[in-house]
């Protein structure tokens, strides 16, 4: 577990991660909603115009990207210091739409972490506490 990194995140509750994460994760620009001493994290994402589909709702690809980013981040926090993982599979259930300006809360959970693979799941909630999507992914340990 990445205790130093977890403590740094806990000291920055509410902070945006856009400048702290490389590439696509930075573009998603999550905010730290909650993180406990064990590294269980919850992240908030604000639905922006560049995340919408032609019907004005959060694009399915953006939903999948949020789920993938959160699952990987949660696994990173919970994994051994020397471990690195890559996604093998991902399944998303789209349950409800979210509109521009909505704040989406991502709540991940490491279901199982073994010697070679890990299974992680995540539920995305709208601010009214209704689930908008849920996803599961299997990761392969590469280091």
Which residue, chain included where needed, has tokens 């992914």? 137
Give 24: exposed, middle or buried? Use CB within 10 Å, 0-12, 13-18, 19+. Answer: exposed
The model carries a pTM of 0.94
Give 83: exposed, middle or buried? Use CB within 10 Å, 0-12, 13-18, 19+. Answer: middle
Name the helix (H) or strand (E) containing 48: none
Number of residues in the chain: 143
Spell out the domains of the chain, with CATH numbers in brackets. 3-141 (3.10.129.10)
The answer to whether 44 touches 104, Cβ cutoff 8 Å, is: yes
Q: Write out the chain's pLDDT in tens, 143 residues.
A: 789 989 999 999 999 999 988 899 999 999 999 999 999 999 999 999 999 999 999 999 999 999 999 999 999 999 998 899 999 999 999 999 999 999 999 999 999 999 999 999 999 999 889 999 999 999 999 99
d(CA 89, CA 76): 17
């Amino acid at each position: 577990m990445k205790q130093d990194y977890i403590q740094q995140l806990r000291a920055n509750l509410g902070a945006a991660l856009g400048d702290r994460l490389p590439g696509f994760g930075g573009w998603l620009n999550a905010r730290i909603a909650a993180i406990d001493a064990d590294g269980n994290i919850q992240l908030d994402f604000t639905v922006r115009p560049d995340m919408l589909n032609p019907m004005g709702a959060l694009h399915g690809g953006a939903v999948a990207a949020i789920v993938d980013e959160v699952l990987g981040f949660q696994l990173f926090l919970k994994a051994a210091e020397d471990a690195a993982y890559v996604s093998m599979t991902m399944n998303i259930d789209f349950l409800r739409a979210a509109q521009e300006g909505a704040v989406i809360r991502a709540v991940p959970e490491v279901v199982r972490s073994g010697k070679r693979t890990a299974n992680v799941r995540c539920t995305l909630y709208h601010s009214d506490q209704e689930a908008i999507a849920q996803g599961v992914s299997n990761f392969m340990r590469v280091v």
